[in-house]
Structure 1
Amino acid sequence: MEYYGKTLCISARELVENGVMTQSNYCQLVARKKLTVARRGGRGGYALVVVSSLPDTYHDKLTKIYPDPSLAVLLAWLEANYEVDQAAAAYFADWKARCGRDGATDAHVAEYVTNASVLNACIRLYNNAKAIQKTMGMKYDWSMMAQAVEGYRMKTGHTLPTSMLRFRKKVNEYQRDGYACLISGKFGNQSRRKVDHKTERLILSIAIQPNKPFNTSVWEMYNSFVCGELDVYDPETGELFSPDDFTDKNGDPLALSESTITNYLNLPKNRVLISHALEDWETFMHEQRPHVHRHDGEFALSQITADDVDLSRKLNDTKKRVHAYYMYDDLSQCVIGAAYGRSKDQLLVVECFRDMFRLLERNGWGMPAGIEVENHLMSEYKDGFLQTGVAFSFVHFCAPLNSQEKRAESLNGAKKRSIIHKNHEGIGRFYGKGKWRMKSKKVSDAENDTYEDKKYYSYEQLVAEDRADNAEWNNSLHPNQKKYPGMTRWQVLVANINPTLERMDKLTLSRYIGERVDTTVRRNSTVRVAYEDWWLSDPSVLEKLKPNDYKVTAYYLPDEEGNPTDVYLFQGDRYIDKVERVETFNRVYAEQTEKDTAIYEDQQKRIGKFDGYVRKNAISRVGIMRPQKEATPLSESEELPVLDDCIGEVSYHTPDALESL
């Protein structure tokens, strides 16, 4: 017998010469394809027949000629059915990545993949009754299989056990536990480590003390503990840790070097845990915790992002900073609203909203679809103006202290680096690095906030210069020049307005962020707001007022100079009317213009409309009389009132006069 490739074969000549079959039988079996010929004869060669393809009758004759051909047949079957297990390759590659620090290498991966592949072939044979009969006889022979696997070691390099019982046990473990049973116990075995899991957790627990000890101090405290010089306890349960649980194999205290302690404290997984325990939530979130990844939208005014900032330079009168509040368009990054104040309060926020809506109205743009804001200044409006669906369709309150969530935070920084730092001196921080460091010599005075070489500015100058910086920022190139080549931020804003925006709801805006004035309806026609008179739109508005109550509240959004624009009247929570400004005309006829004439005619129309409303709803008078009662006998001295007519005055008559009546 011989191998042809990986298949056990026997020459056709040997089959015929040794009487296994005749030449004619051989030719018939080949013609009927009941015999597999691995290699045909001719040209000086000889034909090779696959042993495993012999019919059972001829296979039995072959067994008598060759005393123990079964082992060779079994080896040939294993070689023919051996396949590299790709699932095992993926499993052990992942295992190596997870425990590479424990010494796992590519050689270990290759070894375990080969072992799994050999076991797969053995199990495949175990489940194939016909193959068992051809290779082993009537039943699965574990001893023969162990010998075959051992003989197969040279070709594959597997490390499966040689003993029949151990091999059989490994096959059962593999079927029960899968690939994990092939991994050596030295990987992940805590007993081989000087610093096991329990000791490592103790080191970490010492390292997260409130005073944030240095690595040297952690090393000293650990050694003091294992030597019994320092008590360590669980602060939650009060349980004392025993130094006897931290000993080597000889029972001596498990002493560790300073470098060992440092190495374990500096492991990436441990540094994360230490930072989580020692750092405040904001620092850990910004430096250690993963963050989400986002991309920009496609339309302007789909989302507004808002944030407050303190201008870098200080005021000359209070030595404090001017507070500013900005509204940015998320896509174009344009500043579309800005407000300034000496105090960071609700008025600052309201004025910024007003400034933004004035810009939107001037340009005829609709209501922004969404807005993202911070919590501390906007929480007052959560149940009102910034409730989803009231003014904006989408409202998002960013998490407190999470500056990376809010786009306006990064835009404030970008504007400061690219525009403000270029245009002005004194832009930076005392703890900044390089060009951002601003160091000044402090003057020791009562305020303890005065510096010798620091410049101070007026409020008006700081506000004017910041507005100029915003204009320069808006008209500078958009950072995404690949998508918007040659376009400024303002051009991107104008060219990409969201076409689905709703119209500006000035009624809602006026009520929530507008000026409020309590006033009274006068002469059934006007109210007085901001020192001006305003017409009711129609006399029928009077029907909406409460009984005997002419008091109303006027709301309006002021323009840049603080003057009212559209004025809306409410009585309580009920909308009453949108009023119109009263225009006056010159009472001197000689000086009247066409405009005066038009105003006069408009007022006459309004008065006529009122007269028409009164006539249309005029009240008809009804007659009233008292019912007549039967007269009763009276004494001569009694006088009774008698009605002269149904609506006349009362007259008094004597009894004699009654007779004449």
Structure 2
Amino acid sequence: MEYYEGRLCVSYQELVNGGIMSAANYKQTAARGKMRVVRRGGGSGCCALVAVDSLPSRFKSKVRELYPDGAQTHLRLWVMENYETDQEAVAFFRDKENTGVDLQQYPEKIREYVTNASVLNTCIKLYNRAATARKLMGEKYNWDEMADTIEALRKELGHTLPTSTLRFRKKVNEYRCEGYGCLISGKFGNQNKRLVTKAVEEAVLSLSCLENKPYNTTVWEQWNMFLCGELDIFHLDTGELLNPDDFTDKNGEPLVLSESTISNILNQPANKLRINQRLLMPVTLMHEELPHMHRHNGRYSLSQITMDDVDLSRKLKDTKKWVHAYYAYDDVSECVLGASYAREKDTPLVVECFRDMFRLLAANGWGTPKGIEVENHLMSQWRDTYLSPGVVFEFVRFCAPQNSQEKRAEHYNGAKKTSIIHKNHAGIGRPWGKGKRRVEQKKVSDASNELYEEKKYYSWDELVADDRQDNWEWNHSLHSDQKKWPGKTRWEVLVENVNPDLWPLDRRMLARWIGVSVETSVRRNSTVRVNYGDWWLSGPEVLERLAPNNYKVTACYLPNEEGQPQDVYLYQDDRYIDTVEKVETYNRVMAEQTAEDREKFEKQQKKVSHFNKYLKERAISKVGVMKTTKAPVLEEPKELAVTPQETKAPTLPRISASSHALADM
């Protein structure tokens, strides 16, 4: 017998000469396809091979009687060919958190458990391959044969799996259900032999994560109450009760833990992190416990803008509330590029900050910043339009909510407050600050027990003017990274290192999204009224872009610092129509006209001439019309018997010359 193409086979000589079947029977069975000849005979020493599993039952039983060890030999061969070391088992048994004991000190035990896991993997692989199992074992998976095979390979592989079939089969099922942990001996480092098992540790940690945040001593007391049946512990998700009888020592007594043991469990660094994950607010956990990203700054200014809001430290006199401010910083130079102020933190506050920033960029002839990082709260409304990557900014990042570590603007707000604002004004700090940053407040003794005396209040104009001056001083003070920019102020770093690949400012798009929008209409086919001023259409051709019988348009513009429109763009139903030009009036009194008046006069004359030329070129041709008399439509003639004398020639109507004249009028 031999193994050929993955199948156990018997040769022609063994079948015929061994008395299993006659030569005639062999030829007849093969011809009828009742057995599978996997290799034909012939040639030099090449004999025919027949698959054992394809033989009829009476012949198959004779083969197994004559060769009882044949299948076993090939089963062992298959196991050795498919055996491979389980690398996941290696990682599992090297990890103390998985095993409950440090097996690194016992490398021979790690090798033993890894080998056992690898052997079991091979057995399960054969079990899952039903077709292969049938070829090797007959009709179904034969546990006796597999157990014998594994036992025969004990010395070769070095495993320590059970000898008997039932124990071996039970170990396979335990391994499939419980995994690697069931291979660890109960006499060596198993969880069941630990005083503090995983189950005990999880129960203690759960007690420490109650909403009242109990101290370690309280957890110890609650554990003892649980063992005595005085306290029930249950899972909030499933309602399952923990059974005190499951927490016993080797003698079956309640598992009493000392106060120091409880403290050791709760004070392990990994457990402290898990406890904080349950007890701390997500923001606190993120800032105090979780790892953060490590970054370095860029090279060019205007490569990225970072924006964030802040409440000015001093309160208003009229409302006793803070002024809300919104800043746009350049990420590299740290300069404040835009600032806005409002009594409410809302969308207009953000829009005005964008306007202020783009006014500065336009005044200095700079392009659009390459990228921008913003918060989610007020900016998400433009995620699919204005702040979509590639619309205005090439790169856009929405920072995680309440993650002050991510937005660089948060750092600049703090640095400006401690270095500039604290130096220039009194009362800057926090009631819980330390040292010079603490602001003392006197509590008012009243029924509410919540009021504090404020030292001083300020007007709106005073607070805004002071903050703008602080921003100017911040921009013109030395850059924080003097190693990289020695002797340079923030403004100098901004001006001297502008990114050379900036997109030009798209004023029309900016006016559409962050500008002022007013409804107006085209007047006398030439102008629109915006902010109490008239604006010229670029030409009469614009009228062709308007919808039929609709002269209403929307004018969008970016206001200057005084709120006056600069460039005005017309839209109709979100469709761009025209860019209009301000109408400049001239002095109609000729004796008082200046050179500037005469220039404005000529400009308006050109506008009017252009309109006249447009109308002349598109003048409608003159035509005349007249009524056309047509012969009446005759119905299909009926077949009637008529005599020739009854047929008359038709008489045509006469049209006079006067009728032609009337038709031409």
Normalised by the length of structure 2, the TM-score is: 0.69
Q: Structure 1 pair 258/597, CA: closer, same or farther in 2 (3 Å)?
A: same
Structure 1 CA distance, aligned partners of 2:384 and 2:556?
A: 19
- 1:646 maps to 2:632: no
Q: Structure 1 pair 321/642, CA: closer, same or farther in 2 (3 Å)?
A: farther
Please tell me the residue identity of whatever aligns with 2:442.
Answer: K
Compute the displacement of 1:423 (Å): 1.4
Contact 1:314 1:322 in 2 (8 A): yes
- 1:149 matched to which residue of 2? none
Contact 2:186 2:193 in 1 (8 A): no
Structure 1 CA distance, aligned partners of 2:220 and 2:185?
A: 33
Q: Structure 1 pair 277/525, CA: closer, same or farther in 2 (3 Å)?
A: same
Please tell me the residue identity of whatever aligns with 2:621.
Answer: S
Secondary structure of the 1:405 match is coil
Structure 2 CA distance, aligned partners of 1:362 and 1:445?
A: 54
Contact 1:556 1:566 in 2 (8 A): yes
Q: Structure 1 pair 470/612, CA: closer, same or farther in 2 (3 Å)?
A: same
590-599 or 183-192, larger mean C-alpha shift? 183-192
* TM alignment of 1:145-160, pairs within 5 A: none
* TM alignment of 1:195-274, pairs within 5 A: 195-274=196-275
Please tell me the residue identity of whatever aligns with 2:158.
Answer: N
Please tell me the residue identity of whatever aligns with 1:522.
Answer: R
* TM alignment of 1:342-381, pairs within 5 A: 342-381=343-382
Structure 1 CA distance, aligned partners of 2:186 and 2:227?
A: 29
- 1:141 matched to which residue of 2? none
Contact 2:101 2:190 in 1 (8 A): no
Secondary structure of the 2:332 match is coil
Structure 1 CA distance, aligned partners of 2:432 and 2:467?
A: 23
- 1:571 matched to which residue of 2? 572
- 2:311 matched to which residue of 1? 310
Runs of 4+ with deviation above 3 angstroms: 94-105, 168-171, 183-193, 442-453, 628-631, 640-650
Please tell me the residue identity of whatever aligns with 2:485.
Answer: Y
Structure 1 CA distance, aligned partners of 2:563 and 2:623?
A: 53
Compute the displacement of 1:229 (Å): 1.6
* TM alignment of 1:374-523, pairs within 5 A: 374-443=375-444, 451-523=452-524
Structure 2 CA distance, aligned partners of 1:617 and 1:307?
A: 55
Compute the displacement of 1:337 (Å): 0.5
- 1:555 matched to which residue of 2? 556
Structure 1 CA distance, aligned partners of 2:259 and 2:630?
A: 122
Q: Which one has a bigger Cα radius of gyration?
A: 1
Compute the displacement of 1:309 (Å): 0.5
Contact 1:104 1:187 in 2 (8 A): no
Q: 1:66-104: CA deviations, max 9, x gaps? A: xxxxxxxxxxxxxxxxxxxxxxxxx99x96998999689
Structure 2 CA distance, aligned partners of 1:243 and 1:227?
A: 8
Structure 2 CA distance, aligned partners of 1:395 and 1:494?
A: 23
Q: Structure 1 pair 224/341, CA: closer, same or farther in 2 (3 Å)?
A: same
- 1:133 matched to which residue of 2? none
Secondary structure of the 1:404 match is coil
Q: Structure 1 pair 629/276, CA: closer, same or farther in 2 (3 Å)?
A: closer
Q: Structure 1 pair 184/498, CA: closer, same or farther in 2 (3 Å)?
A: farther
Please tell me the residue identity of whatever aligns with 2:575.
Answer: R
Secondary structure of the 2:283 match is helix
Contact 1:306 1:372 in 2 (8 A): yes
Compute the displacement of 1:645 (Å): 3.4
- 1:589 maps to 2:590: yes
Q: Percent identity?
A: 59
Aligned length: 495
- 1:620 maps to 2:633: no
Compute the displacement of 1:305 (Å): 0.6
Please tell me the residue identity of whatever aligns with 2:660.
Answer: C
Please tell me the residue identity of whatever aligns with 2:468.
Answer: R
Contact 2:220 2:258 in 1 (8 A): yes
- 1:120 matched to which residue of 2? none
Compute the displacement of 1:587 (Å): 0.7
Secondary structure of the 1:194 match is coil
Structure 2 CA distance, aligned partners of 1:404 and 1:571?
A: 44
Structure 2 CA distance, aligned partners of 1:300 and 1:224?
A: 65
Structure 2 CA distance, aligned partners of 1:600 and 1:191?
A: 102
- 1:287 matched to which residue of 2? 288
186-195 or 384-393, larger mean C-alpha shift? 186-195
Structure 1 CA distance, aligned partners of 2:381 and 2:401?
A: 15
Q: Structure 1 pair 190/184, CA: closer, same or farther in 2 (3 Å)?
A: closer
Please tell me the residue identity of whatever aligns with 1:495.
Answer: E
Structure 2 CA distance, aligned partners of 1:259 and 1:270?
A: 15
Structure 2 CA distance, aligned partners of 1:224 and 1:521?
A: 85
* TM alignment of 1:86-235, pairs within 5 A: 108=105, 172-173=158-159, 189-191=190-192, 193-235=194-236
Secondary structure of the 2:309 match is strand
Compute the displacement of 1:433 (Å): 2.4
Structure 1 gaps, min length 5? 1-90, 117-167, 175-179, 632-639, 651-661
Compute the displacement of 1:484 (Å): 1.1
Structure 1 CA distance, aligned partners of 2:615 and 2:229?
A: 102
Compute the displacement of 1:382 (Å): 1.6
Q: 1:565-620: CA deviations, max 9, x gaps? A: 10001111111110111111111111111111111111111111111000000001
Normalised by the length of structure 1, the TM-score is: 0.69
Please tell me the residue identity of whatever aligns with 1:254.
Answer: L
Contact 2:305 2:330 in 1 (8 A): yes
Structure 2 CA distance, aligned partners of 1:325 and 1:447?
A: 33
Contact 2:334 2:412 in 1 (8 A): yes
Structure 1 CA distance, aligned partners of 2:576 and 2:350?
A: 25
Contact 1:374 1:398 in 2 (8 A): yes
Secondary structure of the 1:240 match is coil
- 1:160 matched to which residue of 2? none
Please tell me the residue identity of whatever aligns with 2:314.
Answer: R
Contact 2:315 2:458 in 1 (8 A): yes
Structure 2 CA distance, aligned partners of 1:303 and 1:410?
A: 15
Compute the displacement of 1:186 (Å): 8.7
Compute the displacement of 1:260 (Å): 1.5
Q: 1:273-306: CA deviations, max 9, x gaps? A: 1111122221111111112211112211111110
- 2:547 matched to which residue of 1? 546
Secondary structure of the 2:597 match is helix
Compute the displacement of 1:534 (Å): 0.7
Compute the displacement of 1:209 (Å): 1.3
212-221 or 344-353, larger mean C-alpha shift? 212-221
Q: 1:329-373: CA deviations, max 9, x gaps? A: 111111100000111111101100000000000000001111111
Q: Structure 1 pair 451/307, CA: closer, same or farther in 2 (3 Å)?
A: same
Contact 1:643 1:649 in 2 (8 A): no
Contact 1:520 1:550 in 2 (8 A): yes
Secondary structure of the 2:405 match is helix
Please tell me the residue identity of whatever aligns with 2:432.
Answer: Y
Structure 2 CA distance, aligned partners of 1:532 and 1:448?
A: 56
Contact 2:227 2:255 in 1 (8 A): yes
Contact 2:371 2:394 in 1 (8 A): yes
Secondary structure of the 1:578 match is strand
Q: Structure 1 pair 378/498, CA: closer, same or farther in 2 (3 Å)?
A: same
Taking only aligned residues, the RMSD between alpha carbons, in angstroms, comes to: 3.5
Q: 1:52-76: CA deviations, max 9, x gaps? A: xxxxxxxxxxxxxxxxxxxxxxxxx
Please tell me the residue identity of whatever aligns with 2:552.
Answer: K
Structure 1 CA distance, aligned partners of 2:472 and 2:103?
A: 61
Contact 1:366 1:502 in 2 (8 A): yes
Secondary structure of the 1:313 match is strand
Secondary structure of the 1:568 match is strand
- 2:123 matched to which residue of 1? none
Compute the displacement of 1:384 (Å): 2.0
- 1:148 matched to which residue of 2? none
Q: Structure 1 pair 630/188, CA: closer, same or farther in 2 (3 Å)?
A: closer
Contact 1:319 1:449 in 2 (8 A): no
Secondary structure of the 2:324 match is strand
Q: 1:41-61: CA deviations, max 9, x gaps? A: xxxxxxxxxxxxxxxxxxxxx
